[in-house]
Amino acid sequence: MENVFIKEDDSILDAMRTFDASGRKTAFIIDEDKKLLAAVSEGDVRRFILSGGDLNDSVKKIANYKPRSLKEDERDDAYDFLRRHNIQGLPIVDENGVVIDTVFWSENHYKKQSELSCPVVMMAGGKGTRLYPYTRILPKPLIPVGEKPIAELIMDSFSEYGINRMILVVNHKKNMIKSYFGEVDKPYTIEYVDEDTPLGTGGGLSLLRGKVNETFILTNCDILIEEDYSKIYAHHKAEGNVITMVCSLRNFQVAYGVVEFGEHGNITDMKEKPEFSFFTNTGIYIVEPEVIDYIKDGEFIGFPDIINRLKDDGKKVGVYPINENTWMDMGQLDELGKMENRLRGISK
């Protein structure tokens, strides 16, 4: 049985860590006798975060205390039940309400997603210095992860949503990138925007002026997320944002004991290998075309500076939080193998 269980006194952060560890988007609250009490979903957590909630609060604040479940003799109806109620998973319980198993959707069953018609803009002009020595030979977008370059994997993931217009902002080794994709059969078109002079992580968007006049997805060329892009897009529109940044929870554990001390060197606190959690920028955004007007032609600027410029002008910039286990970043050498294993379905 999968480890998707938490206790009532656990925090919302504990629930998120359970999502990450299990790879599931639902966790179940049980008592000491494993009796089902409640359920909490990734969507419950996301809504709580967006409302300004504290992740250290009790999971009881957001839990559903009327969770759906099935009895053992109803197990054969489980997948139909999941489909009808549009839920990710549910527990199987005995006559006393004790959880004896769980059922979740798998890739072999049902994956709901809506079509998108917006273009994707990929920033693919950097030198990829964190990936030396690989990028001394290949541009970062062409670094292979398994049998395909990372940029192709990213574009293929968007193509699954019906997106057929990809725009690559290229600079470093751009002819190699164009040559590779010119030989690849693909169900989408690729347009190239030449960034002749490096313009930072945001300045290259000025080159889209007159070329993109609708909401678009902006992505780095070295990351993948396993999320429903149509839900992110719908959230962006519903919130009325000019930019929605996809953010991922990251857990960091200090490898040493941490000591705090005060005046005269007196120790005030000690923590053995403490763990900290932060929301970090994944490098994927939903962007309104008016953002391009905030960038001067030929201006060198980072995308965070563009966001600050918009905020100073009273524009609404929001976030869409996701769990750590749905974000794959190959921007560093030690992450390459992890991403390849994930894509092959190999566990950590």
- CA pair distance 76, 6, nearest whole angstrom: 26
Torsional sign, CA 261, 262, 268, 271: negative
Alpha-carbon radius of gyration of the chain? 23
- Does residue 113 belong to any structural domain of this protein? no
Encode 261-291: b = buried (16+ Cβ within 10 Å), e = exposed. Answer: eeeeeeeeeeeeeeeeeebeebbbbbbbbeb
The pLDDT value recorded for residue 129 is: 77
pLDDT band at 104 (very low <50, low <70, confident <90, very high): confident
Same domain as 332, residue 201: yes
As a whole number, the mean pLDDT across the chain is 89
Indicate whether 75 and 129 sit together in one domain: no
Q: Are residues 131 and 167 in the same domain?
A: yes
Work out how many domains the chain is built from and give that number.
2
Q: Quick one: pLDDT at residue 20?
A: 85
Q: Residue 154's domain is classified under what CATH number?
A: 3.90.550.10
CA 78 to CA 72: how far, in whole Å? 10
User: What is the C-alpha separation between 135 and 121, in angstroms, rounded?
Assistant: 22
Q: Do 91 and 170 belong together in one domain?
A: no
What pLDDT is attached to residue 106? 65
pLDDT on residue 168: 98
Q: Which residue has the tokens 């960034």?
A: 195
Q: For 311-336, what is each residue's pLDDT tens digit?
A: 999 999 999 999 888 888 887 666 77
Print the domain residue range for 287: 120-344
pTM score of the predicted model: 0.82
| 72 CB burial (10 A radius; 0-12, 13-18, 19+) | exposed
Residue 146's pLDDT band, with cuts at 50, 70 and 90, is: confident
Give the whole-angstrom CA distance, residue 154 versus residue 149: 9
Residues 178, 29, single domain; the answer is no
Tell me the residue ranges of DSSP E strands in 211-313: 216-220, 223-225, 243-253, 257-261, 267-272, 275-287
